[in-house]
Every structure is written in structure tokens, then in C-alpha cells.
Structure 1
Amino acid sequence: MEWKDELSVGVELIDNEHKELIRAVNELFDACMHGKGRAKIAETLKFVENYTVKHFGDEEALQKKYNYPGFPAHQKLHKAFVSDLQNYKRQLETEGPTVNLVATFNTFVSSWLIKHISIEDKKIGIHIRSLNQ
């Protein structure tokens, strides 16, 4: 995954946190390219799990601060993502770092981030910027 300007939501805090999440996913991709994905999955999963707590908290605080009308629906998307992460964590604990787990986690987290940022988070940025003009 590559950070591109079109992923920017125009809110520095959110953009910087998105870059950190993309960096972590890229580290897992790089590990996979060198045959070390199975060794890296637990670290990446833990980072994403911990970092999304911070990121979602920051994002939701901004939504509340600026009375973002889509907040309830957006919060549900965050909760669903956290639930999915918990499922991957349980799978890692029960089955270990299988090649299938690494592949499905890579696909899940990268596609979710791109879609979520490109569609849902952009709406937050538009809303905030409209109030700050």
C-alpha cells in the first residue's frame, strides 16, 4: 500500500494516524515478500489492534467536537472492524500463524483501510473543513 494524496482527508491528525496504520501493514507485506510473514503477523495484529484504539478514539472525538452527523454509523464501522480484528486474534491464538491467516489478514486490513479512508473518513474531513472555512 502506498500513501497517496487522494487518501488525505484534510485533517492532519487523522492523516498522520492513517499513515502509521499503512506503514504497519506495509511492514507485514515486506515481511511476506521475504518469507517472514508468519513471524510478523502477531506483531502487526497487536499493533493494529492497539493503534486503532487510539486512532478511532481520536477520530470519534473529532466527530463529536464538530457534531458530525454520520457519527453513529461511523462508530458502528469502527466497532465492526475491532470485532473482525478480535476474530483474527482468536484465529492466531488457536491455529497459529498460518499462511492462510497472514494472507487473509493482509487482504482484509489493507482493503478495509483503503475503502474506509477513501469513503467514510473523507466525509469527516469534508464536514470539518466546511465548518472551518
Structure 2
Amino acid sequence: MPILSWQDSYSVGVACIDAEHKQLISMINRAFDDSKKETDLVILERLAADMRMYAMVHFATEEELMKEHDFPHSENHIKNHKMFLNKALEAEQAVEKGEDTNPIEFVNFLADWLSGHILEVDKALGTHLNAKGVF
């Protein structure tokens, strides 16, 4: 059973952003499933690196659209992105240091963060972009 499932309420009305959000949800679910089969360290190492790298691509998409279409809340949105990237980097560093890790805690953080970010922050961006003719 997935920890996070795509719901129509997650759609921001911009196809490229929705597609990338679906990919992020898929990555979180894959890690959750893997947590039942692999060691904590292997799962967290792969998940933290994958999430950080993919998030950088996704955040670049959003941030370029914000810049191109003069999104008035860009600064706060970008701060939110940086917080996520810092959390992923902290997880990677914990693995490198060999610290006791729990990938389920990180997966739960990712699922909560992503659903909250989409429903609260990205929805506003989607509304703004739709008003500018971006779908």
C-alpha cells in the first residue's frame, strides 16, 4: 500500500508541474516499499540522494515559471524549496557519517512535506500561472 497517492486535489493545473509531482510521489512510494526489503542505510542513502537530485530539477521548473510569469510570492516559495533540499542533504550527511537512521521517518517527512507543499504553496503558483495562460 502506498504511503502517498496522487489525488485530483493535488493538481495545480499546470501539466509539467503535475507530472513532476506524480514522479516525486512515485519515488516516495518506491522507497516506502523498499523499506520492507532492504537495510535502513541503503534505503536512506538512495532516497535522500534521489530526492535531492530530482527536487532540484523540479524546483528549477517551478522557479523558472515563477520568474517568467512574475509570481508575487516567489521568495517564500523558494525558501520552502531550500528547506526541503536542506533536509535531504542532512539525511545524506547522516548516512555518510554512519549515524543511526530511520528511513521511515524520512519517508514520512517527504510525504507530509510534499502533500502540504502542493496543497498550500504550489496551488497558489498554479492559480497564478493559469491566470497567465499557463496550463
The normalised TM-score by structure 2 is 0.89
1:72 Cα offset (Å): 0.8
Mapped partners of 1:92, 1:132: distance in 2: 44
Amino acid at match of 1:58: T
CA contact (8 A) 2:48 2:88 kept: yes
1:20 alignment counterpart? 23
1:37 Cα offset (Å): 5.5
Unaligned stretches of 5+ residues in structure 1: none
2:123 alignment counterpart? 122
Query: Higher helix proportion, which one?
Result: 1
2:102 alignment counterpart? 101
Deviations 1:34-91 (A, max 9, x none): 3325232222211111101110001000011110000011011111111111111111
Amino acid at match of 1:111: D
SS in 2 for 1:95: coil
Asked if 1:45 corresponds to 2:48, the answer is yes
1:95 Cα offset (Å): 2.5
The normalised TM-score by structure 1 is 0.90
The structure 1 residue matched to 2:37, chosen from 22, 27, 35, is 35
CA contact (8 A) 2:12 2:126 kept: yes
CA contact (8 A) 1:3 1:19 kept: yes
Amino acid at match of 1:18: H
1:4 alignment counterpart? 7
Mapped partners of 1:121, 1:132: distance in 2: 16
Mapped partners of 2:85, 2:65: distance in 1: 19
Percent identity of paired positions between Structure 1 and Structure 2:
31
The structure 2 residue matched to 1:64, chosen from 67, 71, 85, is 67
RMSD: 1.5
Mapped partners of 1:51, 1:12: distance in 2: 17
Asked if 1:73 corresponds to 2:49, the answer is no
CA contact (8 A) 1:63 1:71 kept: yes
1:91 alignment counterpart? 94
Mapped partners of 1:81, 1:107: distance in 2: 13
